[in-house]
Amino acid sequence: MQQELTGKEGFQFVPRYLWFLISTFSMVILLGNWFDLRLIKIVGIVANAGTFIFAFTFFLSTLITEVYGYKYARLAIWWGFLFNIIVLIYGQLVIHLPSPSYHPHNAMFDILLQANNRAIIGGLLSYFASETLNSFTMAKLKLELKGRFIGARFIVSTIMASSVDSALFGVIAFYNSMDNHSLISLIFGMLFIKFIFDILLLPLFIYLAKRLKEIEAIDIYDKKTRFTLFSLDTDYSRTANRFVKEIN
C-alpha cells in the first residue's frame, strides 16, 4: 500500500517500495538470528549459518540509506529490534510453559531455544552497533563524495559494519563455549563470507539503487540529519532530495 509522506517545507513523496524494504529487512534479521547457533564448515572456513542471511541485511539497510536516507534506515533498525525482542520474550514464555509427559522432544527444544537466546542477545547488540555504523558511514560518505563512487561507498560501509558485527557477535554468542583459537577462526570466517557476499551483491546494489531513485524520484542527502540512533524522526526538507525539481 502506498502512503504519502510529508516532511518539512511541504516535501511530499509516495514511496512504492520503502515499506517492502523495511519489512524484508526485519524478516531477514529474524531469520539470521534463528540460525546463528548452527555452525558450518565450507572448504575449511568455519562460520555460523546465520551469516549467509545476515550479510543480506547490510545490503538492504545500505540500499534504504542510499535512496531514502539515514532516517528511514534508522527506522528499519528499530523495526528489526522490536520484532527480535518479541521473539526473545515469546521464546522465554514457551520454554517455561508446562510440557506433556508423552512428548519426548520438548526438553531438547527447550535446550536449543535457551542456547539460542544467547545468540539472539549477541545478535541484537552486534546488530545495533553494525547496522547503525553501516548506515551512518554510507550517509556520510555520500555527502563527502557528493553522491559519487557508489560502489566504493557500499564496500567501505559494509566491510566496516561486517567487521564490527562479526567480532561482537562471535564474542557474545560463543565466548567460553569454544577455545580462543576456534573463536578467532569463527570470527574471521564470518567476516570473510560477508565480504564475499558484498562483492557478489555489488552489481545488484548499484542497479537497484539507481532504478529506485528513478522510479521513486527520490535521492536523499542527509545534510541536516542528527545522526543519533535514539530518534524516530523521518522528516526531510525539500533541499535534501536531489529530485526535488522533478517532484515540483
If pLDDT is split at 50, 70 and 90, which confidence band does 5 have?
A: low
* Overall pTM surpassing 0.75 (yes/no): yes
Cα angle 166, 170, 175 (rounded to 5 degrees) comes to: 160
Mean pLDDT over the full length of the chain:
86
pLDDT of residue 6 exceeding 80: no
pLDDT at 55: 84
pLDDT at 89 > cutoff 50: yes
Q: Are 32 and 50 in contact (CB under 8 A)?
A: yes
How does pLDDT run across 52-66, given as a tens digit for each residue? 888 899 999 999 999
Q: Is 87 helix (H, G, I), strand (E, B) or coil?
A: helix
State the average pLDDT over residues 220-239: 90
User: What is the CB-side half-sphere exposure of residue 206 using CA atoms within 13 A?
Assistant: 13
**Average pLDDT value for residue range 184-202:** 93
Q: What is the pLDDT of residues 24-45, one digit of tens each?
A: 999 998 888 778 778 888 888 8
Compute the average pLDDT of residues 207-225. Answer: 94
pLDDT value, residue 7: 52
Dihedral class, residue 43 (left if φ above 0, else alpha if ψ from -120 to 50, else beta):
left
* Backbone dihedral angles phi then psi of residue 173, each to the nearest 5 degrees: -80, -30
Where exactly are the structural domains of the chain?
5-247
3-state helix/strand/coil string of 170-196:
HHHHHECCECHHHHHHHHHHHHHHHHH
pLDDT at position 1 is 35
d(CA 31, CA 19): 18
Per-residue confidence (pLDDT) for residue 12, from 0 to 100: 58
